Structure 1
Protein backbone atom coordinates (compact mmCIF):
# COMPACT_ATOMS: atom_id res chain seq x y z
CA UNK A 1 0.00 0.00 0.00
CA UNK A 2 2.87 2.38 0.77
CA UNK A 3 4.37 1.91 -2.71
CA UNK A 4 1.01 2.70 -4.31
CA UNK A 5 0.67 5.81 -2.12
CA UNK A 6 4.17 6.95 -3.10
CA UNK A 7 3.40 6.41 -6.78
CA UNK A 8 0.22 8.46 -6.54
CA UNK A 9 1.76 11.21 -4.39
CA UNK A 10 5.09 11.67 -6.19
CA UNK A 11 4.47 10.50 -9.76
CA UNK A 12 0.78 11.08 -10.49
CA UNK A 13 0.22 14.18 -8.39
CA UNK A 14 3.79 15.52 -8.64
CA UNK A 15 4.11 16.53 -4.98
CA UNK A 16 7.21 16.57 -2.76
CA UNK A 17 7.93 16.47 0.96
CA UNK A 18 10.31 18.91 2.63
CA UNK A 19 11.37 17.99 6.14
CA UNK A 20 11.13 14.80 8.14
CA UNK A 21 8.25 13.21 9.98
CA UNK A 22 9.32 12.72 13.64
CA UNK A 23 8.52 9.00 13.74
CA UNK A 24 10.55 8.57 16.93
CA UNK A 25 7.89 10.55 18.85
CA UNK A 26 4.70 8.83 19.93
CA UNK A 27 2.81 11.92 21.02
CA UNK A 28 2.62 15.39 19.53
CA UNK A 29 0.26 17.92 17.99
CA UNK A 30 0.45 18.56 14.25
CA UNK A 31 -0.99 21.81 12.93
CA UNK A 32 -1.77 21.80 9.22
CA UNK A 33 -2.09 25.16 7.48
CA UNK A 34 -3.77 26.32 5.37
CA UNK A 35 -6.97 24.28 5.48
CA UNK A 36 -9.03 25.59 2.58
CA UNK A 37 -10.60 22.49 1.04
CA UNK A 38 -11.92 19.04 1.87
CA UNK A 39 -9.14 17.79 -0.45
CA UNK A 40 -6.72 18.53 2.42
CA UNK A 41 -8.17 15.58 4.34
CA UNK A 42 -7.63 13.23 1.39
CA UNK A 43 -4.11 14.56 0.85
CA UNK A 44 -3.43 14.00 4.55
CA UNK A 45 -4.65 10.40 4.35
CA UNK A 46 -2.43 9.81 1.32
CA UNK A 47 0.70 11.27 2.88
CA UNK A 48 0.13 9.17 6.02
CA UNK A 49 0.45 6.12 3.76
CA UNK A 50 3.57 7.59 2.11
CA UNK A 51 5.14 8.00 5.56
CA UNK A 52 3.62 4.72 6.79
CA UNK A 53 2.77 6.49 10.05
CA UNK A 54 -0.19 6.60 12.36
CA UNK A 55 -1.66 10.09 12.56
CA UNK A 56 -4.85 10.90 14.40
CA UNK A 57 -7.54 13.53 14.23
CA UNK A 58 -10.63 14.40 16.22
CA UNK A 59 -14.20 14.64 15.03
CA UNK A 60 -17.53 15.31 16.59
CA UNK A 61 -18.89 12.30 18.43
CA UNK A 62 -21.96 12.00 16.19
CA UNK A 63 -19.74 11.16 13.19
CA UNK A 64 -18.46 8.09 15.01
CA UNK A 65 -21.99 7.01 15.95
CA UNK A 66 -23.08 7.15 12.30
CA UNK A 67 -22.92 4.33 9.73
CA UNK A 68 -19.54 5.76 8.67
CA UNK A 69 -18.09 5.57 12.18
CA UNK A 70 -15.96 2.56 11.17
CA UNK A 71 -14.29 4.71 8.48
CA UNK A 72 -13.42 7.52 10.86
CA UNK A 73 -12.00 5.10 13.44
CA UNK A 74 -10.00 3.16 10.82
CA UNK A 75 -8.40 6.37 9.53
CA UNK A 76 -7.20 7.44 12.98
CA UNK A 77 -10.18 9.45 14.14
CA UNK A 78 -11.05 9.93 17.79
CA UNK A 79 -14.56 11.03 18.83
CA UNK A 80 -14.89 14.14 20.95
CA UNK A 81 -17.91 15.71 22.61
CA UNK A 82 -17.75 19.34 21.50
CA UNK A 83 -20.85 20.51 23.37
CA UNK A 84 -20.70 23.76 25.27
CA UNK A 85 -20.75 21.86 28.58
CA UNK A 86 -17.55 19.99 27.72
CA UNK A 87 -14.01 21.38 28.03
CA UNK A 88 -12.63 20.28 24.65
CA UNK A 89 -8.98 20.94 25.53
CA UNK A 90 -9.31 18.86 28.69
CA UNK A 91 -11.12 16.07 26.80
CA UNK A 92 -8.40 15.90 24.15
CA UNK A 93 -5.69 16.02 26.80
CA UNK A 94 -7.34 12.97 28.35
CA UNK A 95 -7.13 11.11 25.02
CA UNK A 96 -3.39 11.84 24.98
CA UNK A 97 -3.06 10.49 28.51
CA UNK A 98 -5.12 7.36 27.79
CA UNK A 99 -3.19 6.30 24.69
CA UNK A 100 0.39 5.14 24.27
CA UNK A 101 0.56 6.75 20.84
CA UNK A 102 -1.44 9.79 19.73
CA UNK A 103 -0.34 12.23 17.05
CA UNK A 104 -3.12 14.76 16.70
CA UNK A 105 -3.41 16.57 13.38
CA UNK A 106 -5.70 19.57 13.24
CA UNK A 107 -6.14 22.93 11.64
CA UNK A 108 -5.76 25.94 13.91
CA UNK A 109 -8.00 27.83 11.50
CA UNK A 110 -10.95 25.75 12.69
CA UNK A 111 -12.64 25.95 9.28
CA UNK A 112 -11.94 25.69 5.56
CA UNK A 113 -12.55 29.40 5.08
CA UNK A 114 -9.85 32.07 5.18
CA UNK A 115 -9.49 33.41 8.71
CA UNK A 116 -7.52 36.28 10.18
CA UNK A 117 -6.90 34.61 13.52
CA UNK A 118 -6.18 31.01 14.49
CA UNK A 119 -7.93 29.20 17.28
CA UNK A 120 -5.57 28.50 20.17
CA UNK A 121 -6.77 25.08 21.33
CA UNK A 122 -3.85 23.21 19.73
CA UNK A 123 -1.43 25.33 21.77
CA UNK A 124 -3.17 24.68 25.07
CA UNK A 125 -3.52 20.98 24.32
CA UNK A 126 0.23 20.72 23.70
CA UNK A 127 0.95 22.64 26.91
CA UNK A 128 -1.52 20.57 28.96
CA UNK A 129 0.10 17.26 28.01
CA UNK A 130 3.64 18.60 27.54
CA UNK A 131 4.06 17.49 23.93
CA UNK A 132 5.69 19.30 21.02
CA UNK A 133 3.97 20.85 18.05
CA UNK A 134 4.94 19.99 14.48
CA UNK A 135 4.04 22.59 11.87
CA UNK A 136 2.93 21.15 8.51
CA UNK A 137 2.29 23.31 5.45
CA UNK A 138 0.12 22.01 2.62
CA UNK A 139 1.49 24.24 -0.14
CA UNK A 140 -0.54 23.72 -3.30
CA UNK A 141 1.45 26.48 -5.03
CA UNK A 142 4.73 24.52 -4.80
CA UNK A 143 3.03 21.11 -4.60
CA UNK A 144 4.84 20.26 -1.41
CA UNK A 145 4.18 19.33 2.15
CA UNK A 146 6.68 21.02 4.46
CA UNK A 147 7.34 19.93 8.05
CA UNK A 148 9.04 21.75 10.89
CA UNK A 149 11.08 20.15 13.59
CA UNK A 150 9.04 19.52 16.75
CA UNK A 151 8.80 22.64 18.92
CA UNK A 152 7.53 22.87 22.47
CA UNK A 153 5.27 25.78 23.34
CA UNK A 154 6.84 28.22 25.75
CA UNK A 155 5.22 30.56 28.25
CA UNK A 156 5.26 33.35 25.64
CA UNK A 157 2.25 32.65 23.44
CA UNK A 158 2.67 35.80 21.33
CA UNK A 159 6.29 34.97 20.46
CA UNK A 160 5.41 31.34 19.75
CA UNK A 161 2.58 32.31 17.41
CA UNK A 162 4.83 34.73 15.54
CA UNK A 163 7.25 31.85 14.88
CA UNK A 164 4.43 29.54 13.85
CA UNK A 165 2.94 32.10 11.47
CA UNK A 166 6.33 32.84 9.90
CA UNK A 167 6.73 29.14 9.05
CA UNK A 168 3.62 29.39 6.87
CA UNK A 169 4.52 32.67 5.09
CA UNK A 170 3.91 32.34 1.35
CA UNK A 171 2.11 28.99 1.57
CA UNK A 172 -0.77 28.71 -0.90
CA UNK A 173 -3.87 26.68 -0.08
CA UNK A 174 -6.05 24.75 -2.52
CA UNK A 175 -8.44 27.68 -2.49
CA UNK A 176 -7.01 31.16 -2.17
Structure 2
Protein backbone atom coordinates (compact mmCIF):
# COMPACT_ATOMS: atom_id res chain seq x y z
CA UNK A 1 0.00 0.00 0.00
CA UNK A 2 1.95 2.96 -1.25
CA UNK A 3 -0.78 5.37 -2.35
CA UNK A 4 -0.37 8.94 -1.19
CA UNK A 5 -3.17 10.00 1.14
CA UNK A 6 -4.47 13.07 2.87
CA UNK A 7 -2.63 11.93 6.00
CA UNK A 8 0.82 12.29 4.44
CA UNK A 9 0.12 15.57 2.57
CA UNK A 10 1.87 18.02 4.95
CA UNK A 11 0.04 21.37 4.65
CA UNK A 12 -3.38 19.80 4.11
CA UNK A 13 -2.83 17.45 7.06
CA UNK A 14 -1.94 20.36 9.38
CA UNK A 15 -4.95 22.42 8.27
CA UNK A 16 -7.38 19.50 8.58
CA UNK A 17 -6.00 18.55 11.98
CA UNK A 18 -6.69 22.09 13.21
CA UNK A 19 -10.18 22.00 11.68
CA UNK A 20 -10.90 18.58 13.21
CA UNK A 21 -9.82 19.64 16.69
CA UNK A 22 -11.96 22.78 16.46
CA UNK A 23 -15.04 21.10 14.98
CA UNK A 24 -15.09 18.24 17.47
CA UNK A 25 -14.58 20.61 20.41
CA UNK A 26 -17.33 22.97 19.20
CA UNK A 27 -19.79 20.11 18.73
CA UNK A 28 -19.09 18.66 22.18
CA UNK A 29 -17.02 15.61 21.18
CA UNK A 30 -14.08 14.29 23.19
CA UNK A 31 -11.24 12.29 21.62
CA UNK A 32 -9.24 9.89 23.75
CA UNK A 33 -6.61 7.16 23.51
CA UNK A 34 -3.45 6.63 21.52
CA UNK A 35 -1.69 3.91 19.59
CA UNK A 36 0.21 1.43 21.74
CA UNK A 37 4.02 1.67 21.81
CA UNK A 38 5.25 0.03 18.62
CA UNK A 39 1.70 0.00 17.24
CA UNK A 40 2.40 2.19 14.23
CA UNK A 41 1.26 -0.81 12.19
CA UNK A 42 -2.06 -2.24 13.36
CA UNK A 43 -5.60 -3.20 12.49
CA UNK A 44 -8.13 -0.72 13.81
CA UNK A 45 -11.62 -2.07 14.42
CA UNK A 46 -14.18 0.53 13.32
CA UNK A 47 -17.34 -0.13 15.28
CA UNK A 48 -20.14 0.42 15.51
CA UNK A 49 -20.64 1.23 11.81
CA UNK A 50 -24.27 2.29 11.46
CA UNK A 51 -24.17 5.54 9.45
CA UNK A 52 -22.49 7.36 6.57
CA UNK A 53 -21.42 9.91 9.21
CA UNK A 54 -18.96 7.37 10.60
CA UNK A 55 -16.43 8.07 7.83
CA UNK A 56 -16.09 11.86 8.38
CA UNK A 57 -15.88 11.33 12.15
CA UNK A 58 -13.29 8.57 11.67
CA UNK A 59 -11.21 10.87 9.48
CA UNK A 60 -11.41 13.75 11.99
CA UNK A 61 -10.46 11.51 14.92
CA UNK A 62 -7.56 10.18 12.81
CA UNK A 63 -6.27 13.72 12.27
CA UNK A 64 -6.58 14.57 15.97
CA UNK A 65 -4.67 11.41 17.00
CA UNK A 66 -2.15 11.77 14.12
CA UNK A 67 -3.00 8.37 12.65
CA UNK A 68 -2.13 7.28 9.11
CA UNK A 69 -5.26 5.31 8.29
CA UNK A 70 -6.45 3.30 5.36
CA UNK A 71 -9.99 1.96 5.15
CA UNK A 72 -11.81 -0.50 2.93
CA UNK A 73 -15.01 0.41 1.15
CA UNK A 74 -17.21 -1.21 -1.45
CA UNK A 75 -15.94 -0.62 -4.98
CA UNK A 76 -19.04 1.40 -5.96
CA UNK A 77 -17.71 4.28 -3.80
CA UNK A 78 -14.67 4.49 -6.09
CA UNK A 79 -16.39 5.18 -9.39
CA UNK A 80 -15.58 8.39 -11.33
CA UNK A 81 -15.54 11.26 -10.56
CA UNK A 82 -14.88 10.37 -6.89
CA UNK A 83 -12.31 7.55 -7.24
CA UNK A 84 -9.23 9.77 -6.81
CA UNK A 85 -10.68 11.63 -3.86
CA UNK A 86 -11.76 8.45 -2.06
CA UNK A 87 -8.28 6.92 -2.49
CA UNK A 88 -6.68 10.17 -1.30
CA UNK A 89 -8.87 9.90 1.83
CA UNK A 90 -7.21 6.52 2.47
CA UNK A 91 -9.84 4.37 0.77
CA UNK A 92 -9.08 0.96 -0.70
CA UNK A 93 -11.79 -0.41 -3.04
CA UNK A 94 -13.11 -3.87 -2.19
CA UNK A 95 -14.76 -5.95 -4.90
CA UNK A 96 -17.04 -8.13 -2.79
CA UNK A 97 -17.46 -10.68 -5.56
CA UNK A 98 -13.66 -11.08 -5.76
CA UNK A 99 -12.76 -10.77 -2.07
CA UNK A 100 -11.64 -14.36 -1.46
CA UNK A 101 -7.98 -13.35 -0.99
CA UNK A 102 -8.72 -9.99 0.64
CA UNK A 103 -7.46 -11.08 4.08
CA UNK A 104 -4.12 -12.34 2.74
CA UNK A 105 -3.64 -9.29 0.49
CA UNK A 106 -4.42 -6.90 3.37
CA UNK A 107 -2.02 -8.67 5.74
CA UNK A 108 0.74 -8.58 3.11
CA UNK A 109 0.15 -4.86 2.47
CA UNK A 110 0.56 -4.10 6.18
CA UNK A 111 3.72 -6.21 6.45
CA UNK A 112 5.29 -4.55 3.40
CA UNK A 113 4.36 -0.95 4.22
CA UNK A 114 7.40 1.29 4.65
CA UNK A 115 5.89 3.50 7.32
CA UNK A 116 2.96 3.74 9.73
CA UNK A 117 -0.21 2.04 8.55
CA UNK A 118 -3.42 1.54 10.49
CA UNK A 119 -5.93 -0.46 8.47
CA UNK A 120 -9.48 0.40 9.55
CA UNK A 121 -11.89 -2.55 9.22
CA UNK A 122 -15.56 -2.73 10.15
CA UNK A 123 -16.40 -6.17 11.55
CA UNK A 124 -20.04 -5.75 10.57
CA UNK A 125 -19.03 -5.31 6.92
CA UNK A 126 -22.11 -3.11 6.35
CA UNK A 127 -24.07 -0.19 7.83
CA UNK A 128 -27.19 -2.37 7.91
CA UNK A 129 -28.20 -4.33 11.01
CA UNK A 130 -26.30 -7.57 11.31
CA UNK A 131 -26.41 -10.30 13.94
CA UNK A 132 -22.85 -11.52 13.51
CA UNK A 133 -19.43 -10.02 12.99
CA UNK A 134 -17.05 -11.06 10.28
CA UNK A 135 -13.63 -12.17 11.52
CA UNK A 136 -11.61 -10.84 8.56
CA UNK A 137 -10.07 -8.07 10.67
CA UNK A 138 -8.85 -10.70 13.12
CA UNK A 139 -7.18 -12.87 10.48
CA UNK A 140 -5.61 -9.81 8.81
CA UNK A 141 -3.96 -8.97 12.15
CA UNK A 142 -2.83 -12.58 12.64
CA UNK A 143 -1.36 -12.70 9.12
CA UNK A 144 0.38 -9.34 9.46
CA UNK A 145 1.51 -10.11 13.03
CA UNK A 146 0.19 -6.78 14.31
CA UNK A 147 -2.06 -5.82 17.23
CA UNK A 148 -5.77 -5.07 16.95
CA UNK A 149 -6.79 -1.68 18.35
CA UNK A 150 -10.44 -1.22 19.31
CA UNK A 151 -11.40 2.15 17.86
CA UNK A 152 -14.89 3.53 18.45
CA UNK A 153 -17.30 6.38 17.90
CA UNK A 154 -19.77 6.49 20.78
CA UNK A 155 -22.60 8.81 19.71
CA UNK A 156 -24.32 8.29 23.07
CA UNK A 157 -21.50 9.84 25.10
CA UNK A 158 -19.97 11.88 22.23
CA UNK A 159 -16.61 10.24 22.81
CA UNK A 160 -14.43 8.74 20.08
CA UNK A 161 -10.95 7.32 20.00
CA UNK A 162 -8.80 4.30 20.59
CA UNK A 163 -9.63 1.75 23.26
CA UNK A 164 -7.95 -1.46 24.38
CA UNK A 165 -5.33 -3.30 22.37
CA UNK A 166 -5.72 -7.00 21.62
CA UNK A 167 -2.79 -9.13 20.54
CA UNK A 168 -4.46 -12.07 18.76
CA UNK A 169 -3.87 -15.39 20.53
CA UNK A 170 -5.20 -17.60 17.74
CA UNK A 171 -8.14 -18.56 19.99
CA UNK A 172 -10.60 -16.71 17.77
CA UNK A 173 -13.77 -17.39 19.80
CA UNK A 174 -12.19 -16.17 23.04
CA UNK A 175 -10.61 -13.10 21.40
CA UNK A 176 -13.84 -12.18 19.59
CA UNK A 177 -15.69 -12.32 22.91
CA UNK A 178 -13.17 -9.86 24.40
CA UNK A 179 -13.82 -7.54 21.45
CA UNK A 180 -17.60 -7.85 21.67
CA UNK A 181 -17.57 -7.25 25.43
CA UNK A 182 -15.77 -3.94 24.89
CA UNK A 183 -18.21 -2.78 22.20
CA UNK A 184 -21.33 -3.86 24.11
CA UNK A 185 -21.68 -0.41 25.74
CA UNK A 186 -20.74 1.70 22.68
CA UNK A 187 -23.68 3.37 20.92
CA UNK A 188 -23.72 3.92 17.15
CA UNK A 189 -25.53 6.79 15.45
CA UNK A 190 -28.33 4.39 14.50
CA UNK A 191 -28.12 2.38 17.68
CA UNK A 192 -30.81 -0.15 16.74
CA UNK A 193 -28.62 -1.39 13.87
CA UNK A 194 -25.74 -2.39 16.13
CA UNK A 195 -25.48 -5.48 18.26
CA UNK A 196 -22.10 -6.51 19.67
Please give the alpha-carbon distance, in whole angstroms, between the structure 1 residues aligned to 2:120 and 2:37.
Answer: 14
> Does structure 1 retain, via aligned residues, the 8 Å contact 2:142–2:170?
no
Match of 2:45 among 31, 37, 45: 31
Distance verdict in 2 for CA 1:94–1:64, change over 3 Å: farther
Please give the alpha-carbon distance, in whole angstroms, between the structure 2 residues aligned to 1:112 and 1:32.
Answer: 11
* Structure 2 unaligned spans of 5+: 1-14, 192-196
Match of 2:177 among 153, 162, 173: 162
Please give the alpha-carbon distance, in whole angstroms, between the structure 1 residues aligned to 2:73 and 2:99.
Answer: 17
Distance verdict in 2 for CA 1:7–1:116, change over 3 Å: same
Please give the alpha-carbon distance, in whole angstroms, between the structure 2 residues aligned to 1:52 and 1:146.
Answer: 11
Please give the alpha-carbon distance, in whole angstroms, between the structure 2 residues aligned to 1:80 and 1:174.
Answer: 24
Q: Does 1:53 align with 2:67?
A: yes
Per the TM alignment, residue 81 of structure 1 is displaced from its structure 2 partner at its CA by 4.1
The equivalences for 1:1-176 within 5 A come to 1=15, 2-10=17-25, 12-22=26-36, 24-61=38-75, 63-64=77-78, 66-84=80-98, 86-100=100-114, 101-176=116-191
Per the TM alignment, residue 158 of structure 1 is displaced from its structure 2 partner at its CA by 1.2
> Does structure 2 retain, via aligned residues, the 8 Å contact 1:137–1:146?
yes
Flag the structure with higher helix content.
2
**TM-score normalised to structure 1 length:** 0.89
**TM-score normalised to structure 2 length:** 0.80
Q: Secondary structure at the match of 1:104?
A: strand
* Structure 1 unaligned spans of 5+: none
> Does structure 2 retain, via aligned residues, the 8 Å contact 1:80–1:92?
no
